[in-house]
Amino acid sequence: MARILIIDDEAMILDLLVKILEREGYETVTASGGKDGIKIHRENPADLIITDLIMAEKDGLETIMELRRDFQDVKIIAMSGGGKIDSKTYLQIAKTMGAIEIITKPFDLRELLRTVQELLE
C-alpha cells in the first residue's frame, strides 16, 4: 500500500484528501505546514507528497526545494488556488523547483486520483 504525505494548512483540504485517498486504498499522513511535513518525511519517507504552495509557516516552494535537495527521487504534486499572484504562476514556479505534477485548486477529484495513480505506478 502506497503511503502519501499531504501537506496543507487548511484542515478542510487535509480532511477531504485523506477521505478520498484512503477510500482508494492509500495510506495517508498529514502535516499542517512545510516544516512538519519535512520532519515527517525524514522520519518515515512517503511514496508521494502532495503539498499546498501558500502556507504560513514554511511555504510550499521552500518545502519542495528542501525535499528535492535532500530526497532527489521524491515524487511531489504541488497544488494551489493562488495568492498574491495567480495559481498558474505559482504552480509553474513549483514545477521549476521540482514538483513532478501540478494541480489547481479547486481540483477535480478524478484528475487528482488519476495523477496520484500515474505517479505511483
What residue ranges do the domains of the chain occupy?
A: 3-120
Q: What share of the chain is helix, strand, coil (3-state, %, to 5)?
A: 45, 20, 35
Please tell me the class of the 3-120 domain: alpha beta
Q: Tell me, what DSSP letter sits at residue 99?
A: -
At 106 the pLDDT is 87
Residues 6+ apart with CB under 8 A from 117: none
pLDDT digits (tens, 9 = 90+) for 39-73: 999 999 999 999 999 888 888 999 999 999 999 99
pLDDT digits (tens, 9 = 90+) for 90-109: 789 999 999 999 998 888 99
